[in-house]
């Protein structure tokens, strides 16, 4: 069997009671860690056999993932895992800078001591967490959400969830290609400290500029890692 046809082998069996949510979570996990590799074909029949369930929850889970842009359903009984591209990555961060830039401007007008304390706690957990993709992304988002919290409405939350999941996929799959030097990691930590310090002082314009610069720094690191991977594959 070809590597593309056997892509579902990296998906772990799940219990019957899981249904659509559990299938979605398991497929999302497999996509994030590369078990379902970018560009690979996923057989719905194979997934049904692997999960030991009917095709209905599998198709619904794939539709959910298609709405996140990580799966493309194909005619028949298969789906295609989306590839990683610099264009998509740039688009994701263009939207993040636009939306989060507006949110941080609004949040800066209403920071409370409680909210700042939550952000401080989230930052401490981010600094102390193991540099493992899933944990790192969760703590990183916890900090961002704590700072933006008071400006986030239901529609904002839905859009941010999609954008953060989309950028997480690049972080997970490119983690090994990122710069892991201590000074680079410290610079990222310092960027977050600066954001929190500016939030405390209420300097809204400087905070927005620093927030966007932080997103640009992350985008540049991911683009560099993606280019390095593409060059290695071409070589």
pLDDT tens-digit series, residues 10-36: 676 555 445 899 999 999 989 988 899
| Mean pLDDT, rounded, for 58-68 | 92
202 backbone dihedrals φ, ψ, rounded to 5°: 75, 20
Summary mean pLDDT of the chain: 88
Q: What is the pLDDT of residue 19?
A: 80
Q: What is the pLDDT of residue 202?
A: 85
Q: What would the pLDDT profile of 177-211 be if each residue is shown by its tens digit?
A: 887 788 888 898 999 999 999 999 988 999 999 99
Q: What is the pLDDT of residue 39?
A: 92
141 pLDDT exceeds 80? Answer: yes
pLDDT band at 2, cuts 50/70/90? Answer: very low
120 pLDDT exceeds 80? Answer: yes
Q: What is the pLDDT of residue 119?
A: 92
> pTM for the full model?
0.84
Q: What is the pLDDT of residue 151?
A: 95
| Mean pLDDT, rounded, for 65-87 | 91
Contact residues for 8 (Cβ-Cβ < 8 A; gap 6+): 36, 42, 43, 46, 47, 50
Q: What is the pLDDT of residue 85?
A: 95
Q: What is the pLDDT of residue 5?
A: 47
103 pLDDT exceeds 90? Answer: yes
pLDDT band at 8, cuts 50/70/90? Answer: low
Q: What is the pLDDT of residue 45?
A: 93
223 backbone dihedrals φ, ψ, rounded to 5°: -65, -40
| Mean pLDDT, rounded, for 3-10 | 56
Domains of the chain: 7-81 (1.10.10.10), 86-234 (1.20.120.530)
């Amino acid at each position: 069997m070809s590597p593309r046809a056997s892509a579902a082998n990296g998906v772990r069996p799940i219990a019957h009671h899981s249904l659509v949510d559990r299938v979605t979570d398991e497929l999302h996990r497999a996509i994030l860690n590369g078990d379902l590799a970018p560009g690979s074909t996923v057989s719905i029949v194979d997934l049904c056999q692997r999960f030991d369930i009917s095709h209905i929850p599998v198709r619904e889970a794939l539709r959910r993932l298609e709405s996140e842009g990580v799966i493309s359903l194909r005619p028949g009984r298969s789906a295609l895992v989306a590839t990683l591209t610099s264009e998509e990555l740039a688009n994701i961060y263009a939207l993040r800078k636009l939306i989060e830039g507006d949110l941080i401007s609004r949040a800066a007008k209403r920071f409370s001591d409680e909210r700042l304390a939550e952000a401080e706690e989230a930052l401490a957990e981010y600094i102390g967490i193991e540099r493992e993709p899933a944990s790192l992304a969760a703590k990183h988002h916890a900090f961002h959400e704590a700072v933006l919290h008071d400006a986030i409405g239901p529609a904002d939350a839905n859009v941010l969830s999609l954008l953060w999941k989309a950028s997480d996929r690049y972080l997970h799959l490119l983690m090994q290609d990122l710069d892991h030097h201590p000074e680079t990691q410290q610079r990222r930590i310092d960027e977050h400290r600066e954001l929190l310090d500016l939030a405390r002082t209420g300097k809204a314009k400087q905070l927005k500029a620093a927030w966007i610069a932080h997103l640009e720094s992350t985008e540049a690191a991911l683009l560099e890692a993606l280019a390095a991977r593409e060059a290695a594959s071409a070589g």
